[in-house]
Amino acid sequence: MGVIPFNSAITTAEEFGLDLVEVSPSANPPVCKIMDYGRYKYQLDKKQQEARKKQATFQIKEIKLRPKTDTHDLEIKLGHLKRFIDKKNKVKVTVMFRGREITMTERARDVLQDIAEKAVEFAAIEQHPKMEGRTMTMVLSPK
Protein backbone atom coordinates (compact mmCIF):
# COMPACT_ATOMS: atom_id res chain seq x y z
CA MET A 1 0.00 0.00 0.00
CA GLY A 2 2.93 2.32 0.58
CA VAL A 3 3.23 5.10 3.15
CA ILE A 4 -0.20 6.24 4.32
CA PRO A 5 -1.32 8.36 7.30
CA PHE A 6 -2.10 6.61 10.58
CA ASN A 7 -5.80 7.59 10.67
CA SER A 8 -6.54 6.31 7.16
CA ALA A 9 -4.70 3.04 7.94
CA ILE A 10 -6.88 2.49 11.01
CA THR A 11 -10.10 3.20 9.08
CA THR A 12 -9.01 0.81 6.29
CA ALA A 13 -8.32 -1.91 8.87
CA GLU A 14 -11.73 -1.35 10.50
CA GLU A 15 -13.46 -1.62 7.09
CA PHE A 16 -12.01 -5.11 6.67
CA GLY A 17 -12.76 -6.03 10.28
CA LEU A 18 -9.04 -6.49 11.04
CA ASP A 19 -6.41 -4.83 13.23
CA LEU A 20 -3.51 -2.51 12.41
CA VAL A 21 -0.43 -4.31 13.78
CA GLU A 22 2.96 -2.61 14.15
CA VAL A 23 5.46 -5.13 12.80
CA SER A 24 8.70 -3.15 12.87
CA PRO A 25 8.61 -0.20 15.28
CA SER A 26 12.28 0.67 14.84
CA ALA A 27 11.97 1.39 11.10
CA ASN A 28 11.52 4.93 9.85
CA PRO A 29 8.55 5.26 9.27
CA PRO A 30 7.28 2.34 11.43
CA VAL A 31 6.04 -0.65 9.43
CA CYS A 32 2.45 -1.76 10.09
CA LYS A 33 0.27 -4.48 8.59
CA ILE A 34 -3.46 -4.92 8.42
CA MET A 35 -4.14 -8.38 9.86
CA ASP A 36 -5.96 -10.33 12.55
CA TYR A 37 -3.93 -9.68 15.71
CA GLY A 38 -5.12 -12.84 17.50
CA ARG A 39 -4.00 -15.01 14.60
CA TYR A 40 -0.67 -13.13 14.44
CA LYS A 41 -0.01 -13.80 18.16
CA TYR A 42 -0.94 -17.46 17.66
CA GLN A 43 1.53 -17.83 14.78
CA LEU A 44 4.31 -16.16 16.80
CA ASP A 45 3.69 -18.56 19.70
CA LYS A 46 3.80 -21.53 17.31
CA LYS A 47 7.13 -20.35 15.86
CA GLN A 48 8.58 -20.03 19.36
CA GLN A 49 7.36 -23.52 20.28
CA GLU A 50 8.99 -24.98 17.16
CA ALA A 51 12.25 -23.19 17.96
CA ARG A 52 12.21 -24.61 21.51
CA LYS A 53 11.49 -28.08 20.15
CA LYS A 54 14.51 -27.99 17.87
CA GLN A 55 16.90 -26.92 20.64
CA ALA A 56 19.30 -29.60 21.76
CA THR A 57 18.21 -30.86 25.15
CA PHE A 58 20.20 -33.26 27.26
CA GLN A 59 20.32 -34.50 30.79
CA ILE A 60 23.25 -35.36 32.98
CA LYS A 61 22.95 -38.95 34.16
CA GLU A 62 25.14 -40.20 36.98
CA ILE A 63 26.84 -43.53 37.52
CA LYS A 64 28.21 -44.10 41.03
CA LEU A 65 31.08 -46.44 41.79
CA ARG A 66 33.41 -47.29 44.67
CA PRO A 67 37.18 -47.79 44.39
CA LYS A 68 36.79 -51.52 45.10
CA THR A 69 34.05 -52.12 42.49
CA ASP A 70 34.63 -55.47 40.80
CA THR A 71 35.29 -55.88 37.05
CA HIS A 72 31.94 -57.54 36.29
CA ASP A 73 30.09 -54.71 38.02
CA LEU A 74 32.15 -52.23 36.01
CA GLU A 75 31.09 -53.97 32.78
CA ILE A 76 27.44 -53.64 33.79
CA LYS A 77 27.94 -49.95 34.63
CA LEU A 78 29.65 -49.51 31.24
CA GLY A 79 26.53 -50.94 29.60
CA HIS A 80 24.42 -48.36 31.43
CA LEU A 81 26.85 -45.66 30.35
CA LYS A 82 26.55 -46.73 26.69
CA ARG A 83 22.76 -46.69 26.92
CA PHE A 84 22.77 -43.16 28.38
CA ILE A 85 25.22 -41.89 25.75
CA ASP A 86 23.14 -43.47 22.95
CA LYS A 87 20.19 -41.38 24.16
CA LYS A 88 22.37 -38.24 23.77
CA ASN A 89 22.76 -37.65 27.51
CA LYS A 90 25.93 -36.63 29.29
CA VAL A 91 27.15 -39.02 31.98
CA LYS A 92 28.86 -38.08 35.23
CA VAL A 93 30.87 -41.03 36.55
CA THR A 94 31.43 -40.68 40.30
CA VAL A 95 33.73 -42.73 42.52
CA MET A 96 32.71 -42.32 46.15
CA PHE A 97 35.13 -42.89 49.02
CA ARG A 98 34.08 -44.10 52.48
CA GLY A 99 36.25 -44.13 55.55
CA ARG A 100 39.80 -45.27 54.82
CA GLU A 101 39.09 -45.71 51.11
CA ILE A 102 40.12 -42.06 50.73
CA THR A 103 43.72 -43.34 50.49
CA MET A 104 42.83 -45.21 47.27
CA THR A 105 42.69 -42.16 44.99
CA GLU A 106 45.13 -43.71 42.47
CA ARG A 107 42.96 -46.83 42.21
CA ALA A 108 39.89 -44.65 41.60
CA ARG A 109 41.74 -42.65 38.94
CA ASP A 110 42.73 -45.94 37.25
CA VAL A 111 39.09 -47.12 37.32
CA LEU A 112 37.91 -43.87 35.69
CA GLN A 113 40.67 -44.02 33.06
CA ASP A 114 39.72 -47.64 32.31
CA ILE A 115 36.08 -46.62 31.81
CA ALA A 116 37.16 -43.75 29.55
CA GLU A 117 39.31 -46.09 27.43
CA LYS A 118 36.48 -48.61 27.04
CA ALA A 119 33.98 -45.86 26.16
CA VAL A 120 36.25 -44.06 23.66
CA GLU A 121 34.27 -45.57 20.71
CA PHE A 122 31.02 -43.81 21.61
CA ALA A 123 31.89 -41.12 24.19
CA ALA A 124 34.31 -38.26 24.63
CA ILE A 125 35.78 -37.00 27.90
CA GLU A 126 34.29 -33.61 28.66
CA GLN A 127 35.84 -33.26 32.12
CA HIS A 128 38.83 -35.32 33.18
CA PRO A 129 38.86 -37.06 36.60
CA LYS A 130 38.82 -34.49 39.37
CA MET A 131 38.80 -34.91 43.14
CA GLU A 132 36.03 -33.03 44.99
CA GLY A 133 35.91 -33.74 48.71
CA ARG A 134 35.27 -37.46 49.19
CA THR A 135 34.34 -38.07 45.55
CA MET A 136 36.22 -38.20 42.26
CA THR A 137 34.19 -37.30 39.16
CA MET A 138 34.57 -37.44 35.41
CA VAL A 139 32.04 -36.26 32.79
CA LEU A 140 31.56 -38.06 29.46
CA SER A 141 29.52 -36.72 26.56
CA PRO A 142 28.32 -38.21 23.25
CA LYS A 143 30.73 -37.96 20.31
- The per-residue pLDDT for range 36-76, each reduced to its tens digit, is 999 989 999 999 999 888 877 778 999 999 999 899 999 99
Distances from the Cα of 30 to the Cαs of 24, 26, 86, 122, 127, in angstroms? 6, 6, 50, 53, 50
Residue-level pLDDT at 127: 92
pLDDT for 82 beyond 90: yes
Residue-level pLDDT at 42: 94
pTM of the model: 0.61
Indicate the class that CATH gives domain 6-53.
alpha beta
pLDDT for 1 beyond 80: no
- Ranges of each domain in the chain: 6-53, 60-142
Phi and psi at 96, nearest 5°, equal -100, 140
Residue-level pLDDT at 130: 93
- Over residues 133-143, the mean pLDDT reads 93
Residue-level pLDDT at 141: 92
Give per-residue pLDDT as tens, 95-125.
Answer: 999 999 999 899 999 999 999 999 999 999 9
The contacts found for 2-5 with CB under 8 angstroms, 24 or more apart, are 3/29
Neighbours of 20 (CB within 10 A): 16
Residue-level pLDDT at 24: 87
pLDDT for 134 beyond 90: yes
pLDDT for 143 beyond 90: no
> Domain 60-142 carries which CATH code?
3.30.110.10
